[in-house]
Copies of this chain bind each other. A is one copy, B any other.
C-alpha cells in the first residue's frame, strides 16, 4: 500500500513538474510532439498489436461479451485511424494564450483574462485503448499534463501505448513526464489518485454509474463527471410524424450503444396513435418497446412488435440496447416534468412544428444539450465543431456537454500597472 501510494504520488509530482514546462510551450512544439506520436503509432504497429492480443486473449478467457471485446480491439486500420485523429488534434487551434475580457480600467490598469491550461488532468476510463491516445492528445494540445488510468482489461495495450508516447515525447520539446499512463491495474492507484488534490487539478471519470459515483463521493479535487445519459425525446402533439420517425430512428438505431442514443420517448396522447403506428412500420421487430399502459394499449393490435410493460425503473434506465421506453403524456408540462424528474440532463429533444412549444421547451428544459427537431446523436465534440472531446459532461460547473480543448483550460487574470495603489 505504501509503495502504491508513493508510486502514484511520484507519477503525479512528475506530471505536475512537466505541466509547468508544458504550459508555456509554443503551439508548434506541442504539434510536433503530437505528429511524432501519430508517426510512431503507425511505425510501431507490431508491438502494439502484440500487446493488444494479450488483452484480447485474457478478455475472451474471462468470457467478456462481444461488444466489450470489440471496443478493446486494435487493428492496423484502427491504429491508422487513431494516428489520423491525433494529427487532427494537432491541426486544431490552440486554446492556450487567448486573452479575453481585456480592457483598461479608469485607473489605467490593463486587465484581462488569459487562457491557461488546467495543469494536471487525471482520467479514469473504460477498457478502450484508443481513449488513451485521444485524451493524451487533447491534454497535450491544451497544455495539460495527463495521468491516464484505463480499464484493467486494456492493461497490456495501454502499457504499450504509454511506451509509444514516451518514446515520441523523448524526441520532442514536451517533457516525457507530461503523459503518465498508469497501466498497472492495482485498485489502490485509483484511491491514491482521488486523494492527490495537491498535485492533480481535475479528475475526469468516464464509465458506468458506479465508477462515477465512487469518484464523485471520494475525489478531493474537482470532478468533471461523464456518465449517466438517460436521453429523452418529446414527440409533441404538433410534430410532423414522418420527420419525427426519421429523427427518432436515427436517435436510437444509428448507434444504440452510445450515450446520446435515445432511451425514452414521451409521446403526446393526441399524436400517439399515428406516431406509434408509423414507428412500428419503421422498426418492425427490431426494437423492443417498453410502454406504459396507454402505449401498450395502442401497440397491442400488432402482435409481432416486441413489447414489455414499463416500470418506474424503465424511466431511469440508460438502455445502451435495442430497447426504448414509451410513455404517453397529456401535455408538454407532463413531458418537461418527466425529463426533470428522470433524465440525466444530458441530451433531450422536442419534435414539433409549433414554434411556441419549441421555444418553451428550450427555455424550460435544463439539459447540457437541448434539441429541436434533430437527432440527439449529434451530441459529440466533433459534430458540435469543437474538433474532439474528452467526454460529455452532465454537470453545470466549468464544462457542460462536449468537453473539448477550450474546456480543458482555465484562465488567469493578468493586471499590468504602473505603480497603481487601491484607494482606501
B24 touches A364 (CB 8 A): yes
A247 an interface residue at 8 Å Cβ cutoff? yes
Q: Which residue of B lies closest to A423 (CB)?
A: B254
Q: Are B364 and A414 in contact (CB under 8 A)?
A: no
Contact between chains at B414 and A373 (CB < 8 Å):
no
Specify the chain B residue showing the minimal Cβ separation from A400.
B410
Asked whether, in the complex, the Cβ of B246 is within 8 Å of the Cβ of A421, the reply is yes
- A377 to B103 alpha-carbon distance, docked (Å): 19
Stoichiometry, copies per complex? 2
* Interface-lining segment among A3-11, A65-73, A216-224, A312-320: A216-224
Binds B, one of A74-82, A111-119, A167-175, A302-310: A111-119
Give every chain B residue within 8 A of A391 (Cβ-Cβ): none
Query: Is A384's beta carbon under 8 Å from chain B?
Result: yes
Q: Are A202 and B396 CB-contacts (below 8 A) given A254-B422, A340-B20, A422-B375?
A: yes
Asked, given contacts A384-B413, A424-B254, whether A396 binds B20 with beta carbons under 8 Å apart, the answer is no
Give the shortest distance, in Å, between A97 (CB) and chain B (any CB). Answer: 9
A220, A367, A400, A417 — which one has the most chain B CB atoms within 10 A of its CB?
A: A417
Contact status B385-A419, CB under 8 Å: no
* Per-residue interface assignment for chain A, residues 8 to 50, with 1 indicating a CB less than 8 Å from any chain B CB and 0 otherwise: 0000000000001001100000000000000000000000000
- Tell yes or no: A395 within 8 A of B by CB: yes
Chain B residues, Cβ within 8 Å of A401: 412-413
What 0/1 readout, one digit per residue, does chain A (396-424) give for beta carbons within 8 Å of chain B? 11101110000000111111111111101
Tally of A interface residues using CB under 8 Å: 71
How long is the Cα–Cα vector from A379 to B414 in the complex, in angstroms? 11
CA distance A119 to B240 in the complex (A): 33
Q: How far is the CA of A367 from the CA of B119 in the complex (A)?
A: 12
B415 touches A372 (CB 8 A): yes
Scan A87-113; emit 1 where CB is below 8 A from any B CB, else 0. 000000000000000010100010100
Give the residue among A222, A373, A375, A415 with the most B Cβ atoms within 10 A.
Answer: A415
A119 proximity list for chain B (CB < 8 A): 366, 396
- For residue A370, which residues in chain B have a CB less than 8 angstroms away from its CB? 412-415
Asked if B397 and A202 sit within 8 Å, CB to CB, the answer is yes
A369 CB–B CB distance under 8 Å: yes
